[in-house]
Amino acid sequence: MNNGYIIRGGKTLSGKIKVESAKNAVLPIMCACLLTEEQCVIESCPKITDVLNMVKILNKLGCKTKFEGENLIIDSSLAKNVALDNSLTKELRSSVFILGSMVSRFKKASVSYPGGCDIGLRPIDLHINAFRELGVIVSEDGGEINCVANKIVGNEIYLDFPSVGATENIMLLTAVSDGTTVIYNPAKEPEIKDLMNFLNKMGAKIVGAGRDKIVIEGVKKLHGISYKAIGDRIEAGTFLIGTAITGGEIEISGIKAENLAPLLNKLVNNTCNIRVKDDIIYLKSGLNRKGFFIDTRPHPGFPTDLQPQMLALACVSTGVSVIRENIFETRFKHVGELVKLGAEVTVKDRVAIVTGVERLKGGEVYAHDLRGGAALVLAGLNAYGKTMIHDVKHIERGYYAFEQKIKRLGGDIERF
């Protein structure tokens, strides 16, 4: 079946790796390719399942897509408006980002409610409210979102919460528009800035990504470009935590340390030794891992996408760790699985209290979502004995060649 990993824990992760382009940068950039009739090239695009699903969505819309080596080529010259049904959108939360691009390009769109990781309610009210304020008529009908617009007219949008997806969707919707759009309280994640850079290279006029407001001066037309997205901070973070949890030493390249500052700070306190040079982070695991406190927040706060992996580290760090998840309601599904591996964790509402044990022990567990699944892999690498992880398809949504990279770093991992 090849749907699981068998890990024999106890080997350290040590060596060098280079991170892939960031999943969360590449996905909205793929949607942006729909905004021009000219060909775009996404350089070094990871062939993760989320990307392959987005390729299917673009193909369904009549785009021509192909991988040439590592580069993904997208030609949207013949794209046409097609309703995207549940069979395509259920696998991928980011299918909602295509809505902004579709409305911009076709002036109408019909998309089934998006899927993705089951980690909370994940409503899209902020996207829909913003679309309405920008001149789009939106109706919802039995799990379908239907949009129609004569033209997109700039406006001032205040986001109640700095939603990553809503910020990106507004940028995609208004890059080509009449007038100026201002997004107050936008998300500040590095991937937002990367989308701005991509759109600006295409000819858009956007300033302010990463700051308190983003200003989008609508242009008439965008053109095709070739672009390499930023490195994946979550992949880098996962391998850094994997090194800490196994007692190894790693050199990770292709990543800006400033994009991982909240994690590096926690790992130093956990007694890791960290050095940074240009786009390289070196980490040597400390001898006495210490418990810590984490409070997930929008960027530049601690990223929710690294919470599960840090929770795995907390399981084998001395003393009590407290982990509060503020972004997603039900992002603790990995806890029940970690407990099967000998972890001592209790969860109350959005807070997990972890009492460190010396080492986890092997067992049979299930990945329920992408980052929670990665946390189980890290836990298995620490545990003594054999750990079987089922449903790793969730992990492969966002990590390219995960087990090969772990193997190269010395981990004992096989597929079954």
Token pair listed for 160: 């109640």
Is 315 designated active site? no
Measured between alpha carbons, how far is 123 from 119 in angstroms, rounded to an integer?
12
Q: Who's near 390: CB < 8 A, 6+ residues apart?
A: 3, 4, 364, 365, 366, 367
The residue from 13, 40, 79, 166 that contacts ligand UD1 (CB under 6 A) is 166
Nearer to ligand UD1, 123 or 319 (CB): 123
Of the ranges 125-133, 197-205, 252-260, 337-345, which one interacts with ligand UD1 (CB under 6 A)?
Answer: 125-133
| Residue 214 interacts with ligand UD1 (CB under 6 A): yes or no | no
Which one among 78, 80, 156, 161 touches ligand UD1, defined by CB under 6 A?
161
The H helix count followed by the E strand count for the chain is 14, 23
334 counts as binding ligand UD1 under rule CB under 6 A:
no
CA distance 38 to 226: 11
Distance (Å, whole) CA 403 – CA 238 = 13
115 vs 121: CA distance, rounded Å: 11
Active-site entry in 117, 147, 272, 315:
117
Amino acid identity, position 394: H
- 127 lies in the site for ligand UD1, by CB under 6 A: yes
- 124 sits near ligand UD1 (criterion: CB under 6 A): yes
Residue 237 touches ligand UD1, criterion: CB under 6 A? no
Q: Enumerate residues 10-29 that contact ligand UD1 by CB under 6 A.
A: 24, 27
Quickly list H helices, 147-260. 164-174, 190-201, 233-246
Q: CA 376, CA 4: separation in Å to the nearest integer? A: 12
Which residue of 239, 292, 328, 332 would you call a contact of ligand UD1, by CB under 6 A?
328
Is residue 165 involved in binding ligand UD1 (CB under 6 A)? yes
The footprint of ligand UD1 on this chain (CB under 6 A) covers a number of residues equal to: 22
Q: Which stretch binds ligand UD1 (CB under 6 A): 10-18, 123-131, 313-321, 346-354?
A: 123-131
Q: Compute the half-sphere exposure of residue 235: CA atoms within 13 Å on the CB side of its CA.
A: 30
Task: Please state, as a whole number, how many other Cβ atoms lie within 10 Å of the Cβ of residue 111.
Answer: 23
Binding footprint of ligand UD1 on the chain (CB under 6 A): 24, 27, 93-94, 120-127, 161, 163-166, 187, 304-305, 327-328
Active site residues: 117
